Amino acid sequence: MAADVKTHLYEWSTTESSNLPVGSTVVSTNLDDNLRMIQKVVRDLSAPTTLAAGTSTDLGSKDETFITLTGSAATVTALGTVSAGIYKWVIFNAAHVLTHNATSLILPSAANITAASGDVACFVSLGSGNWRCVSYTRASGNNVLNASTFGDGTVGAPSITFAADLDTGLYRSGTNTVNVAAGGASVASFAAAVGITPTTTFTVSGGTTITLTPGEGGALTINPLGTGVTGGDINLISGAGSTTGGTVKLQAGAGGITSGNIDFWRNITTSPRYGSRPRGILVGISGGSAEYPTITLVAAHHRPSSGLIWRSRSLSGPHLGPRQSWLTSIRTTQRRRW
């Protein structure tokens, strides 16, 4: 005789009186059939099977719990309809795309997931064709999503930090700005324009040449913060025991174009003129005009094999007088303040 027990787990009820056989059924010669059916249904909980992937991949059509998808990569938007509480473990075979839906296909991080071969996920039916992914494990061991989103964090509690140093790491201080925190203090800031703003001395160490390569027409600017602030220095410092100073070079390109100049500019025409105090050997004027001369200086105790050449736009007319008289003044009074 046929078994009275339903053949699919999803047909069984959590209400005892709704299950078979009913109380009036006489269990006699079909007792063994009912027992075998119960065993079959229970065994399906641990049985594997396969299912072709598609837009609607009907997990509920399978009694088995472990389902390996087959076929080429598909965009999955639905998992079929089955009673609430039924769960299925799915093993992916290709780059199927699971499409997140806040009602019918709820995925971790509320975002679509692109599977890879060997990935495993567990889906639980919510009834009425709705499913929730309660677990997703990538075969690679990576996170479910390729990118992780972090909170802004603060200087004292960065959002990306270290287990043994919780106040050191990265945090977002503003729009398009990332800061580096060390010991609970900001030590550098990286803005959208690739600006680097150290809070103290910014040291670049190395035994090789450090090269800055701006784009055509670019500039290296040292600008003090705030108004009324004294400008900074560019120092070329020799190593201990060295008797040779550094050199600021304006080097022509391979095309043979004439080198540029180092200019001292006034911000506005009414601002004070820049001055200079020669402290080495004045080689002389190598070019320019009476208004904008080009001057070469070298250290007093060295041969003029290297030096600093600049073109000063502040050294002009009424301030210095005609070119010839200005040259005479420089040669005779090198320590004169201009």
The angle subtended at Cα 53 by Cα 47 and Cα 58, nearest 5°, is 65
pTM of this structure: 0.44
Phi-psi region of 287 (alpha: psi -120 to 50; beta: other; left: phi over 0): left
d(CA 104, CA 100): 8
Which pLDDT belongs to residue 146?
62
pLDDT at residue 199 is higher than 60: yes
pLDDT at residue 73 is higher than 70: yes
User: Which fold does the domain 48-137 belong to in CATH?
Assistant: Jelly Rolls (2.60.120)
Neighbour tally for 251: CB within 10 Å: 6
Condensed to tens digits (0 to 9), the pLDDT of residues 13-39 reads 767 677 777 766 666 667 777 777 877
Please list the residue range(s) of the chain that carry CATH number 2.60.120.
Answer: 48-137
d(CA 200, CA 303): 38
- Over the chain, what is the mean pLDDT? 73
How large a percentage of the chain has pLDDT more than 90? 34
d(CA 270, CA 290): 20
Question: Which value, in Å, is the radius of gyration of the alpha carbons in the chain?
Answer: 40
pLDDT band at 217 (very low <50, low <70, confident <90, very high): low
Sheet of strand 120-127: strand arrangement: 48-52, 66-70, 87-91, 120-127, 130-137, 105-106
Lowest mean pLDDT among 19-28, 165-174, 223-232, 307-316: 307-316
Gap between the terminal Cα atoms of the chain:
119
d(CA 157, CA 145): 25
